[in-house]
Amino acid sequence: MTNTRVLCICVDSAEKTLLLDWAARGELPYLQSLLDRAAYTTTQLGESGFYTGPVWPSFYTGTSLDQHGKFAERQLVAGSYEVRKFPLDAIKATPFWRLLGGSGHRTAIIDFGKTVVDRNINGIHIVGWGAHDADYYDPMRYAEQKMQVSPPEWEIEITERWQAPLFGDSDVEIGDRSAAAIQRFQDLLIARIEAKTQMSLDLLQREPWSLFAVNFAEAHSVGHQCWHLTDETAPTYDRELRQRIGDPVLKVYQAIDNAVGKLVETAGPDNHVAFFSTLGMGPHISGQPAMDPLLRRLDGGDRARAWLYRWLRATWNRIPRSMRYRFRPMQEASRNRLLGPERSARRFFALHSNSDYGSIRINLSGREPNGMVEPGEEFDRVCDELANAFSALRNAETGESAVERVMRSDTLYRRRGDDSLPDLLVEWRKTSPIRVLESPRIGRLHVINDETRTGDHRPHGLFALAGHGIRPGELQRPLSVLELAPTLCALLGAHYDDFELAPAPELLPAESEFKGSSNCE
């Protein structure tokens, strides 16, 4: 074990271009001070078709989605036609803090996304204190996330001293999107940042941690809800409201910047400091709500069930968001009861995915319970049919192609016979809003989009590392997210075969025994 200590500050889904621009302009002085002495670059997940779903597990396990298993919030249950919320305890790879703990390193992991609390951690693990999504919540009280702490003896103190401001779902907390509601939302996020900072500072000073990591998810929440107040190029940009209340995205980023300054100062000059923004953010543009209607036009389906599901979805959208958590189990059961039999009677159907990529599952014989498409030539023929149909789609309002590309997942991932991955991925073009789609085969289709978020994810992030032996400046290549966990571990003199890639050699001090060629292409 070395004497090196690592402070890792994660900022979930903070847009890289805003971070760098605002830092250079003096709006984020503590981040700029860190960048002045850091090696930094863009990060990319490299997993085409998915990045919002797998980014956190891919980061903390150093493995890709075809190994750890998570690619979406809701995934097909293998051997069925049901789609259910992916259980986080089903992630198949080992988090880096557990590997470090086995080597005697004490770690503190605070509010990482998409993980379950580690009851065997050598240190402290806090989950759900103030994450973006309420993965652990009381269905009857939507605003109270169920924080989990390990070891248990820390839980009473954390709960009593550092109870998180009530927060469970940014789509709820944004309210009616009036100026007053957005101001309240911004103030709530900033209060949460300040409270988490104080908790982190207290824990940071408790002992000489080998690695202390904290995530600020507030950038994620404000990006989704307030992008129309920061990006003048966005279709939803509201100049008048921006002039009235300012830029909530900038104000939340500045609150996080203050946290960066305090954490770096408290950690002291002898630490390595890592800064990681998991993903980027941009305008919300998607054709995703059209996926199943498009597939039904191509292949038919039970229109009565589809109509009933659309009616139930419209009814669901009329329920106040603050009440929806109470009915989530009922919603999921109803969805599967209606759509499961309908999916079984079609050659292909849509799966839940992110807004950037549509996901299509072929009803394959020998894999699905009621498979209709034979493996081999027929499967290839159906994939080509769908690729041609989606590639022909145009945005009726602009005349541009609505789809960037259609990809087969078996060319991107190591498929298994029992996996739940889609077979085809449709990448939407995000240059203009997609309200009406058309092609000679499907005719015209109006896209019914009930999404209220104005910002959505982009696949790039930002990683910076400062400390002894690190040469400052922008790196000549992007880093894979899969390189980050092995690099953090290597700074502590630890190397594990569990990771898919080697540590990034550009980020290791010259004397590191693990410096060598990278596996990242």
Same structural domain for residues 339 and 221? no
Asked if the structure places residue 515 within a domain, the reply is: no
Q: List the end-to-end C-alpha distance of the chain, in Å, as a whole number.
A: 30
- In this prediction the pTM is 0.92
Same structural domain for residues 480 and 340? no
Same structural domain for residues 344 and 267? no
Asked if the structure places residue 518 within a domain, the reply is: no
Q: What does the pLDDT read at residue 147? A: 81
Asked if the structure places residue 151 within a domain, the reply is: yes
Same structural domain for residues 212 and 319? no
Give me the phi and psi of 120, to 5 degrees please: -110, 20
Same structural domain for residues 129 and 277? yes
Asked if the structure places residue 75 within a domain, the reply is: yes
Query: What CATH number is associated with residue 117?
Result: 3.40.720.10
Residue showing tokens 């307030």: 226
Asked if the structure places residue 521 within a domain, the reply is: no
Q: What does the pLDDT read at residue 356? A: 80
Q: What does the pLDDT read at residue 200? A: 96
Q: What does the pLDDT read at residue 161? A: 86
Same structural domain for residues 35 and 156? yes
Residue 356 to residue 353: CA distance in whole angstroms: 8
Same structural domain for residues 187 and 168? yes
Asked if the structure places residue 422 within a domain, the reply is: yes
3-state secondary structure of 138: strand
Tell me how many domains the chain contains: 2
Number of neighbouring beta carbons within 10 Å of residue 12: 24
Q: What does the pLDDT read at residue 359? A: 95
Q: What does the pLDDT read at residue 23? A: 98
Residue 260 to residue 212: CA distance in whole angstroms: 13
Residue showing tokens 């209606």: 338
Same structural domain for residues 65 and 200? yes
Asked if the structure places residue 381 within a domain, the reply is: yes
Nearest to 433 by CA among 283, 292, 238, 290: 283
Name the region of 328 (left: φ>0; alpha: ψ -120 to 50; beta: rest).
Answer: alpha
Domain that holds residue 242: 6-283+456-507
Same structural domain for residues 98 and 240? yes
Same structural domain for residues 112 and 208? yes
Asked if the structure places residue 288 within a domain, the reply is: no
Name the region of 486 (left: φ>0; alpha: ψ -120 to 50; beta: rest).
Answer: alpha
pLDDT one digit per residue (tens) for the chain, 521 residues: 344 599 999 999 999 999 999 999 999 999 999 999 999 999 998 767 788 889 999 999 999 998 999 999 889 998 999 998 898 999 999 999 999 999 999 999 999 999 999 999 999 999 988 877 655 444 444 444 568 899 988 888 888 888 765 555 676 667 778 999 999 999 999 999 999 999 999 999 999 999 999 999 999 999 999 999 999 999 999 999 999 999 999 999 999 999 999 999 999 988 999 999 999 999 999 999 899 899 989 987 556 666 666 666 666 566 666 666 666 666 677 777 777 788 899 999 999 887 789 999 999 999 999 999 999 999 999 999 999 999 999 999 999 999 999 999 999 988 988 899 999 999 999 999 999 999 999 999 999 887 789 999 999 999 999 999 999 999 999 999 999 999 999 999 999 999 999 999 999 987 665 554 344 33
Same structural domain for residues 274 and 355? no
Helix-, strand-, coil-residue percentages of the chain, each rounded to 5 = 40, 20, 40
- What's the Cα-to-Cα distance from 268 to each of 193, 204, 453, rounded to whole Å? 21, 11, 39
On whether the CB atoms of residues 49 and 475 are closer than 8 A, the answer is: no
Same structural domain for residues 382 and 473? no
Q: What does the pLDDT read at residue 138? A: 44
